[in-house]
Chain A
Amino acid sequence: MPVTPKVKVQTEDFDVRAESGLLTSGRKDVGALVSFTGLCRDEAGTLSALELEHYPGMAEGELTRIAEQAIERWPLTGLTVIHRHGKIPPGDNIVLVIAASSHRRAAFEAADFLMDYLKTRAPFWKKEHLAEGGTGTWVDAKTGDDKDAARWT
């Protein structure tokens, strides 16, 4: 039976351990669990927070489409994607991807793919809040992210 991904877009924090547990508890077929957590950096002390804007509805829809592509491509036993929005201070979590599979290669690759596609296709935008006060600029998209995503085509 095909796996249904768990996709959430939320303001509140997530618990990596609890989310990992949901993908393994009561199962004996999971041999590999790869999790990626993206956190807010302070950019050498210059940032007080990142404000994450999103497109409600499309954010969930696009993350689900990307997750379903990963499920089609790799033999996963479970997949969780959680992306936060709102104002996030340095040190706090922004995004979580957990891929579970019987073997490690599928779990590693699916998590990597998920993040590359999420970065270039999921409708979220970061605005900087500066440590010295006031808002800075919108974070620019990196051309490297497009190259990373192109690795999978």
Chain B
Amino acid sequence: MNIRYFAWVREKVGLEEETIELPSNVKTVSDLIAHLKDLDDYHASAFEEEDAIRVALDQEHVEPDTELGTAREVAFFPPMTGG
């Protein structure tokens, strides 16, 4: 699955995007966050305040309990500050 990061989440992870092979026990967005946190210290620090992270699946907003299903792209980012 293709994972994209924006703003301070991107800076903390140190990557704009990466492709990850999902373990079979990763079903939902929350599962994916838990998996990413275990990858290394960078991911762990980016997802430290999990409540502050927003998620999009295939470029639409979703909640953390959403199933990843057949989505091709997931994005993690802080609350938005445009306008």
Contacts and interface: CB of A to CB of B under 8 A. Distances in A.
A118 B81 CA distance: 9
A118 B82 CA distance: 7
Nearest to A57: B59
Nearest to B52: A141
A139 B83 contact: no
A124 interface: yes
B43 to A, nearest CB: 18
Given A55-B4, A55-B6, A124 B82 contact: yes
B56 A126 contact: no
B51 to A, nearest CB: 12
A122 B6 contact: no
Given A55-B75, A121-B80, A124-B80, 20 more contacts: A38-B83, A52-B82, A55-B4, A55-B6, A55-B59, A61-B60, A94-B82, A119-B83, A123-B56, A123-B77, A124-B82, A125-B7, A125-B8, A125-B80, A125-B82, A127-B7, A138-B7, A138-B8, A140-B79, A141-B81
A55 B7 CA distance: 10
Interface residues of A, number: 27
A38 B82 CA distance: 10
Contacts of B4: 55
Contacts of B79: 120, 140-141
18 contacts: A55-B6, A55-B59, A61-B60, A94-B82, A94-B83, A95-B83, A119-B81, A120-B80, A123-B75, A125-B8, A125-B77, A125-B82, A126-B81, A126-B82, A138-B8, A141-B79, A141-B80, A141-B81
A18 to B, nearest CB: 21
